[in-house]
Structure 1
């Protein structure tokens, strides 16, 4: 077949292309060089898988992580694509080389380290190539947030085969990074296709930390389905996983310090699960192509807007409702500023800009999505209708006076004490410590009057740390930052966002749930999917996504031909699983 739409339907089960997929596929089939910037969940892999089926030869896919390659391999084989991986953990490497040389592979997945080697280049010269696909292409750029030096070594390989089209794919690249990718991979400027960055099915929410473990436990209670919780250290990962396991949900930890077999098992258990929570460092995620993640929580500040976008983008890849909730503390910004001093001078302006962008995101009273998309150059309406601020607008209060009182107390006590002690001075709480230091004689002792002002002290301290009006020293005491002077002199104001009172939601209400109307047929189809997945030793989503099962439950097809009209049911899956699901539908009638 030479018609891409026919192949799209017969192989992948989709009636039509989505977004810019058709434009990207058309360029590839025409032999053009292309960089496609597409949001996670927009179907990037289809942009090289479909041409790989149509073109003569093998498409070589460069991918950064072995786990990601194996996930993509399972998905490709499930729709009948002839695919293989050539990695250090594969025991069938000789067989894979033979299949490539015999022209029996549509897709060959390799890591950049192998792709840039002379042995691999020699292998490719003995076979026939249809396409080079460079996944996670932002890794080639030093401006990107996941720079991988081995990606920089790919250009000689690509140039060795100048007539083979090349397709670079990424979900996260700002204007500067895009230009660098084009340059590094030899793609012309007119080969850039940007699909936009919006993920409308993700509900963004951001909260100040207030017992983070309890906050995340509440989120888990509301959210059925698999979820990822990002913690900032290995120790925090294990501690949080242990605490969250008490919620009753299956929970695992993941970080680079775990023994490889344990780490691999925890990842495999999560990929196969329909309700597991995995608590991980940022080492986890890029290698996961799991479409049914229903929530991503951050138990601390990500390192940049780009990292935040990519990490939250692991939720809702199947298009169903999902939640991304970030919990931040002023100490996160203080630590980030301390780390900034450790990077080379030339990189510090860029790091400051990244931190400033994060600060704007967490403290805005406006639409989170609008601010997030604006960072990548996308326009968005003032109200997205699917972030915490748009769904439940916060109030703002002028906290300048309380901020001045707090800064005065920090100064008059010698810039040596933490938030708790300063609060006790401001509210006039006598203690041995305040008596011994002579601080009860200060003009700031008891200067905060009334419960309303007292309630603002901790949020004000957090805001002052965020704005760099205050900094924490090595001993936990507070000292002035560069923004303190303007506030004290009345040359700047501090407006404080007061979040609305949070109402506890019932389980499953926040993200819509897999079965929002409680259809028993849908649950029966899910049970059958689970049974088939266990038999085939693949994750349930490889068989069918929840959306496909919902369509089956709604349409109740009575024949294989009727089942084949449902989006996501291609010929291979219809042949492999059709009868089993039709039997479930007949039994429920």
Structure 2
């Protein structure tokens, strides 16, 4: 459902100048008692007219960093957003709070666009969301020049990076905001950027003089887990059935065909699963996304075309059936889990074929040498993260320049520490076998040679006569797969760039073959669910529902109100707000107003309904 621009329903009066303080806006509009770490400093910087570059993890409260200043400073705040879904979702949520918000994008007809433009120039909007390609049009710029502008917020600012995984060419032209509107504060925000990307954002958006606010990248409520891929479908089913049988989640796959096949498999196994990829019609994608946002227990199976800006707070798991291309992509995709701060899982299976496929795609890409060098470094970092034997969270945070002094206690390597073994001899055998067979074969064939298999293919090639035939019987086929996977991940072997999957030696393997270097390998763990959610540094407790019937009653009240308003249930109230209602059992509107997330507009619109629902629990 697209947003209905009915400005008559909104209160067009707002305090002039800077009569409301940021703290008052936070409490009265958004229903929160205090800012989170860094939010207050960012808000004050922008309210006072300063520029800011903000790096804050998904679920860390980035939106408030420009929404609060937008309601304090005079004029209309212009928010640049790359996705229509994100605009619609945030505008709907703001209007539920009584905020005068709208958007301009390609879904609107002429009359809707004209009504929005009139509301903008008439001073009837607090925030206007706009796609970058719309913003840079001469007509839009002319409108903005004739309108008092409170600030410019550039969301998902990492889209400006040409080396990034979400590059949008229109973002490159947003530097014009500094020239065209020199007195208007600008704030760029992202959840995903290493040091190189931060510099690129600052340079391309003319924010080199802006204050940088870098929050911790840590998401302590997310449990990171990676397992060797054996049977991906069976592994995924075991994971969902044992840990998230009725939860909302996202499953990422690399190809459209795999998305469709995985979604069908989940449906056949009794789950509510929907596909999402760029090959579907825009109407089908929109319908599936709307169901995911509004219904409970939906699993979205998607390519990376899905996810940026999705504000659904109760996604309990993100699963990867294929290896992401970089830690930036992995961090952003897994960050869609647990936005409400409650325990969630980032689960992935990966295997040797994933590594080979990504390396071949990279080498075959049209990028120049510099692009390929940077992408190789990013893929190497991703592979290193997969094969690490220490705390995964420490490695992930270190990549983004963050520091976690102690192991997290809430990742698979902390909960079930992997064993390592001296694999030097096995590695020498594997590398020698690649060399002796002419560097023309894939891993399955090489394992057959090492284990002394007697089959037609080996006999025809004459490889029963090579010195490495049968010298690897001490390891199982799966153990040899682990050895080869780690050799490719560590860069001792590479996949044939011509795309046939043959493994070839690299210069890095010379010291090993000469006996000058020792190699320690990771033992693949026995596949089992971790013993439990570790305590470690996890700071957020789960919602422990002691009265399921009461919880279902409040959720049913929320769902009915959401259906009436045509918005997802979490736009009415987040689960954490409902949980606090259930715990504190407010009996009056004044008591309900003290619940986190209950602002003045929602109190007026929904207060009586929830008080009645709570009273029914006590009847």
Task: Please tell me the TM-score bracket, short chain as reference.
Answer: over 0.9
Name 1:26's counterpart in structure 2. 44
Post-superposition Cα deviations, 1:459-486, rounded to whole Å, max 9, x if no partner, equal 1121122223233333333332333333
Name 2:135's counterpart in structure 1. 115
Does the C-alpha gap of structure 1 residues 193 and 485 become closer, same or farther in structure 2, counting only changes over 3 Å?
A: same
Name 2:223's counterpart in structure 1. 203
**Cα deviation, residue 244, structure 1:** 1.8
Name 1:323's counterpart in structure 2. 345
Q: 2:250 aligns with which of 228, 231, 252?
A: 228
Does the C-alpha gap of structure 1 residues 20 and 67 become closer, same or farther in structure 2, counting only changes over 3 Å?
A: same
Does the C-alpha gap of structure 1 residues 161 and 440 become closer, same or farther in structure 2, counting only changes over 3 Å?
A: closer
Q: Conserved in 2, the CA contact under 8 Å of 1:204 and 1:386? A: yes
Q: 1:307 aligns with which of 321, 325, 329?
A: 329
- Partner Cα separation in structure 1 for residue 204 and residue 464 of structure 2: 64
Greater Cα offset, 460-469 or 164-173: 460-469
Post-superposition Cα deviations, 1:539-569, rounded to whole Å, max 9, x if no partner, equal 0110111111111111111111111101111
- Partner Cα separation in structure 2 for residue 518 and residue 216 of structure 1: 30
Equivalence map 1:336-415=2 (5 Å): 336-341=358-363, 342=365, 343-415=367-439
**Cα deviation, residue 143, structure 1:** 4.0
Name 2:486's counterpart in structure 1. 463
Post-superposition Cα deviations, 1:190-247, rounded to whole Å, max 9, x if no partner, equal 5111112111111111122111112222222221421111111111111111112223
Name 1:439's counterpart in structure 2. 463
The SS at the match of 1:320 is: coil
**Cα deviation, residue 508, structure 1:** 12
**Cα deviation, residue 316, structure 1:** 1.1
Name 2:296's counterpart in structure 1. 274
Q: Conserved in 2, the CA contact under 8 Å of 1:399 and 1:456? A: no
Does the C-alpha gap of structure 1 residues 428 and 520 become closer, same or farther in structure 2, counting only changes over 3 Å?
A: same
1:78 maps to 2:96: yes
Q: 1:237 aligns with which of 254, 259, 264?
A: 259
Q: Conserved in 2, the CA contact under 8 Å of 1:19 and 1:42? A: no
The SS at the match of 1:294 is: strand
Q: Conserved in 2, the CA contact under 8 Å of 1:300 and 1:328? A: yes
Does the C-alpha gap of structure 1 residues 219 and 543 become closer, same or farther in structure 2, counting only changes over 3 Å?
A: same
Does the C-alpha gap of structure 1 residues 307 and 124 become closer, same or farther in structure 2, counting only changes over 3 Å?
A: same
Post-superposition Cα deviations, 1:361-401, rounded to whole Å, max 9, x if no partner, equal 01100111111111111111241111111111111112221
Does the C-alpha gap of structure 1 residues 411 and 177 become closer, same or farther in structure 2, counting only changes over 3 Å?
A: closer
TM-score, scaled relative to structure 1: 0.95
**Cα deviation, residue 151, structure 1:** 1.3
1:519 maps to 2:537: no
Name 2:527's counterpart in structure 1. 502
Q: Conserved in 1, the CA contact under 8 Å of 2:384 and 2:490? A: no
- Partner Cα separation in structure 1 for residue 358 and residue 445 of structure 2: 24
**Cα deviation, residue 250, structure 1:** 0.7
- Partner Cα separation in structure 2 for residue 237 and residue 368 of structure 1: 27
Name 1:13's counterpart in structure 2. 31
Name 1:483's counterpart in structure 2. 508
The SS at the match of 2:482 is: helix
The SS at the match of 1:301 is: coil
TM-score, scaled relative to structure 2: 0.91
Q: Conserved in 1, the CA contact under 8 Å of 2:228 and 2:524? A: no
- Partner Cα separation in structure 2 for residue 249 and residue 154 of structure 1: 43
Post-superposition Cα deviations, 1:74-94, rounded to whole Å, max 9, x if no partner, equal 111111110001111123111
- Root-mean-square deviation over aligned CA pairs: 2.2
The SS at the match of 2:511 is: helix
- Partner Cα separation in structure 1 for residue 240 and residue 541 of structure 2: 13
The SS at the match of 1:423 is: helix
Name 1:296's counterpart in structure 2. 318
- Partner Cα separation in structure 2 for residue 316 and residue 102 of structure 1: 39
Post-superposition Cα deviations, 1:475-522, rounded to whole Å, max 9, x if no partner, equal 333332333333222223332212433335899999987655453312
Name 1:421's counterpart in structure 2. 445
Q: Conserved in 1, the CA contact under 8 Å of 2:53 and 2:188? A: yes
Name 1:537's counterpart in structure 2. 566
**Cα deviation, residue 282, structure 1:** 0.7
Name 1:39's counterpart in structure 2. 57
- Partner Cα separation in structure 1 for residue 458 and residue 207 of structure 2: 66
Does the C-alpha gap of structure 1 residues 83 and 388 become closer, same or farther in structure 2, counting only changes over 3 Å?
A: same
- Partner Cα separation in structure 2 for residue 426 and residue 328 of structure 1: 23
Name 1:334's counterpart in structure 2. 356
Q: Conserved in 2, the CA contact under 8 Å of 1:121 and 1:157? A: no
**Cα deviation, residue 337, structure 1:** 2.2
Name 1:88's counterpart in structure 2. 106
- Partner Cα separation in structure 2 for residue 428 and residue 517 of structure 1: 59
The SS at the match of 2:250 is: strand
- Partner Cα separation in structure 2 for residue 513 and residue 526 of structure 1: 17
- Partner Cα separation in structure 2 for residue 165 and residue 521 of structure 1: 47
The SS at the match of 1:12 is: coil
**Cα deviation, residue 424, structure 1:** 2.4
Name 2:120's counterpart in structure 1. 100
- Partner Cα separation in structure 1 for residue 583 and residue 525 of structure 2: 38
Does the C-alpha gap of structure 1 residues 62 and 573 become closer, same or farther in structure 2, counting only changes over 3 Å?
A: same
**Cα deviation, residue 107, structure 1:** 0.4
The SS at the match of 2:315 is: coil
Which consecutive residues of structure 2, in runs of 5 or more, have no partner in the other structure?
A: 1-18
Post-superposition Cα deviations, 1:313-334, rounded to whole Å, max 9, x if no partner, equal 1111111111111222222222
**Cα deviation, residue 53, structure 1:** 1.5
- Partner Cα separation in structure 1 for residue 217 and residue 526 of structure 2: 31
Post-superposition Cα deviations, 1:26-66, rounded to whole Å, max 9, x if no partner, equal 01110111111111111111111111122221001010111
Name 1:285's counterpart in structure 2. 307
Which consecutive residues of structure 1, in runs of 5 or more, have no partner in the other structure?
A: none
- Partner Cα separation in structure 1 for residue 466 and residue 149 of structure 2: 79
- Partner Cα separation in structure 1 for residue 546 and residue 484 of structure 2: 45
**Cα deviation, residue 453, structure 1:** 5.8
Greater Cα offset, 245-254 or 429-438: 429-438
- Partner Cα separation in structure 2 for residue 507 and residue 200 of structure 1: 15
Greater Cα offset, 124-133 or 336-345: 336-345
- Partner Cα separation in structure 2 for residue 414 and residue 259 of structure 1: 47
